[in-house]
Amino acid sequence: MALTGKQKAAMLLMSLDTATASELLKDMNAEVIQDIAMELALLDASGQRDTKEEMKIVQEFYNTLQNNEGYTLSIKAFLDKMLTTAVSKNKAEEIQSQIREATKTEDPFVPIRSVRTDELVLALSGEHPQTIAVVLSELSVQKSQEVISYLNEEDCLKAIPKMTNPAPLGTVVKQRIASTVSEKLKSFKGETLAARPEQNLRKLAIMLSGLEKNLRYRLLDEIGKHDEKTRTQVRDLMVTWEDIQRIADRSLQEALREANTQVLAVALYEADEDIAQKIRSNISERATAAVDEETSLMQEPLQKEVLDARETVVQPLRAANKEDKLRFTRK
């Protein structure tokens, strides 16, 4: 669908710093500013920005003016700053109030997108599959993944197929679904989901890892008498990918010495910057160059491939910990 002039203006302003955007708007009347602000608010509420489309619009602007030094900001912060600098404070507050009311009418899922995942999972549990499917389709990809990962399997199996071939729903039906879920959310305000079994085992693993060696092994042996699988899980959870930051450099260097550079490249894909830096600072320059080369050549890995690669990197660390040879920093 072709973008309107106001939609293009909103997307362009998002690529500029607030001072420049305000300068462009200063000679416009409040009604035009309000229309553009509304488009910005709707863009924010949707949770889905088209980066490629934004770049095309920026390029159009650049080609016209031959000068653009914009960068992307938070939409909400940008909108607040833009309004307060482009119009008077009272007018800005009036426009923002009108925008809040209008976006609720225009997009009834705005309040649902902003709630915590725990509350949303509790509100959707046991709901009609069509309701769950509609709400999931209105969330960002990341938020919908989080919700699906916590919903019970039966709800997911019934709801997800409805997203593959969604039935056309009118505005009234969508508003009714949004209203029902929004009302239900009020009763779950501030509630959290019960900890998953693996979360409890991780806490136990961290607790045991800080104990004296002999006591730690006796307690693990005691767990093994009841459930050998649980004992193995607890022992493995004593060292995870996230723990790399607190492993002493010498121990990490020894574990990474024979690491496969291709595996390392996959493991480091979109890794936390602190972890990536910790690993890179503890491998040789030659290994770093090899990892960089592998990264430049590889296709975007699947999430499972990344997780498997990280498990492979962690295995030598777990082996060293099992032999009580792994050292941690004091942090």
189 or 304, which is more confident: 304
**How distant is the alpha carbon of residue 10 from its chain centre?**
24
Share of the chain above pLDDT 70, in %: 72
What pLDDT, in 10s, does the model give residues 37-75? 777 776 666 655 566 666 776 666 555 554 444 444 455
> Residue 130 in contact with residue 178, Cβ under 8 Å?
no
Q: Where are the alpha helices (DSSP H) in 74-196?
A: 75-86, 89-106, 110-113, 117-124, 129-138, 141-150, 153-164, 171-186
| Per-residue confidence (pLDDT) for residue 311, from 0 to 100 | 93
The alpha-helical segments, DSSP class H, found in the chain are 5-14, 18-25, 30-46, 51-65, 75-86, 89-106, 110-113, 117-124, 129-138, 141-150, 153-164, 171-186, 197-209, 213-226, 228-236, 249-256, 261-267, 273-280, 285-297, 303-322
pLDDT of 234-258, one tens digit each?
Answer: 888 888 998 999 899 999 999 999 8
Mean pLDDT of 64-88: 54
User: Which of 100-109, 112-121, 169-178, 276-285 is the most confident on average?
Assistant: 276-285
* Cα 108 from Cα 45, distance rounded (Å): 10
pLDDT at 67: 43
Least confident window among 95-104, 228-237, 284-293 = 95-104
> What is the C-alpha separation between 310 and 330, in angstroms, rounded?
24
pLDDT(171) > 70: yes
Tens of pLDDT, residues 207-238: 887 788 788 888 989 999 988 989 888 888 88
**Which two structure tokens, joined as six digits, stand for 25?**
């708007």
pTM exceeds 0.75 for this model: no
Residue 103 pLDDT > 70, yes or no? Answer: no
- Give yes or no for a contact between 15 and 59, defined as CB atoms under 8 angstroms apart: no
Q: At 24, is the secondary structure helix, strand, or coil?
A: helix
How many angstroms separate the Cα of 157 from the Cα of each of 17, 128, 131, 152, 229?
A: 45, 12, 13, 9, 28
Q: Which two tokens stand for residue 254?
A: 């020894």
Nearest one of 239, 227, 240, 231 to 271, comparing CA atoms: 240
pLDDT of residue 231: 87
